[in-house]
Amino acid sequence: MSEQTPRSVLVTGGARGIGAAIVEEFLARGDKVASASTSGRAPGGALGIACDVTDAASVDAAFAAAEEAHGPVEVVVANAGITKDTLVLRMSEADFDAVVDVNLKGAFHVAKRASRGMLRLRRGRLIFIGSVVGLYGSPGQVNYAATKSGLVGMARSLTRELGGRGITANVVAPGFIETDMTAVLGEEQVAGYRAAIPSGRLGLPAEVASAVAFLASPEAGYISGAVLPVDGGLGMGH
Ligand code: NDP
């Protein structure tokens, strides 16, 4: 790939948390960045687009807006995600479906729309934000963990479909990162996680963003179908 900056980058859920850190990382590297999220908010310097990833037409419109502003999208980060945690016996069909719709089907909408332009360009980087729990498992997260391991199968299948056209597809699997998503956890729960993490601390959104930027960089051109953990060692061996 040409891999010259500025590239046109689209991040879903770039309004806050890990997504916002990813947007900022690409901006700092000189790229043109669009964030597609429910609110349409985005860090300063990025194009904010209101988008619901569960709706294919909304995703299509978000790509069209990014393409109009920044040119063909070369780097896509499927980051938008939600949790609806509860133990399996209490998990409703609605809790399961909502998480699958955003985390897995949303990523499918994004990857499908992105691959159209990338095939034309004959280059591209698809990066999915998975989770340590996708392979490690997590009580109370049957829905969420299933979607995150699903992203591994998605990225690996995309690698096999599109790898010959200069397109890579990888998963970044964060551990516990300090964002709104983990701010709802109780003190005791956080202390338990901290004790289980070899690094002894939660991670920062910027630490996930650097891994994403690496996978989008020229240096990572031969890495595809990989799961890159950013978890302080929590998921080692999984
Ligand atoms: P946040 O809850 O802080 O942010 C989630 C982002 O997703 C928001 O920008 C939100 O948009 C957007 N979003 C949610 N639903 C939709 C939707 N239907 N359509 C478009 N955008 C949507 O999450 P985090 O930053 O913590 O997590 C980001 C990703 O990282 C997720 O995929 C999560 O599963 C994953 N992850 C997080 C970990 C953590 O410890 N925090 C650990 C492992 C993985 P808006 O702001 O506009 O509402």
Q: What is the pLDDT of residue 1?
A: 40
Whether ipTM > 0.95 holds is yes
Is residue 1 lining ligand 1, measured as CB closer than 6 Å? no
Taking a C-beta distance cutoff of 8 angstroms, is the pair 73, 20 a contact? no
Out of 37, 108, 131, 141, mutate this one to test ligand 1's pocket (max ligand atoms within 8 Å of CB): namely 37
Tell which atom from ligand 1 comes closest to the C-alpha of 39.
47
| CA–CA distance, 217 with 178 (Å, rounded to integer) | 25
193 given a catalytic annotation: no
Taking a C-beta distance cutoff of 8 angstroms, is the pair 175, 234 a contact? yes
pLDDT(232) > 60: yes
| CATH hierarchy code of domain 8-224 | 3.40.50.720
| CA–CA distance, 187 with 195 (Å, rounded to integer) | 12
Is residue 79 lining ligand 1, measured as CB closer than 6 Å? yes
DSSP state of 4: P
| CA–CA distance, 180 with 65 (Å, rounded to integer) | 27
List the residue whose alpha carbon is closest to atom 34 of ligand 1. 81
Q: What is the pLDDT of residues 169-200, one digit of tens each?
A: 999 999 999 998 888 888 888 898 899 999 99
Is residue 38 lining ligand 1, measured as CB closer than 6 Å? yes
Tell which atom from ligand 1 comes closest to the C-alpha of 103.
32
Q: Domain ranges in the chain?
A: 8-224
| CA–CA distance, 101 with 96 (Å, rounded to integer) | 9
List the residue whose alpha carbon is closest to atom 6 of ligand 1. 13
DSSP state of 7: P
* Catalytic residue selected from 136, 144, 193, 222: 144
Tell which atom from ligand 1 comes closest to the C-alpha of 16.
9
Is residue 141 lining ligand 1, measured as CB closer than 6 Å? no
- pLDDT band for position 3 (cuts 50, 70, 90): low
Is residue 159 lining ligand 1, measured as CB closer than 6 Å? no
Is residue 80 lining ligand 1, measured as CB closer than 6 Å? yes
Q: What is the pLDDT of residues 10-47, one digit of tens each?
A: 999 999 999 999 999 999 999 999 999 999 999 999 99
Q: What is the pLDDT of residue 2?
A: 47
Ligand 1 centre from 82 Cα, in Å?
A: 6
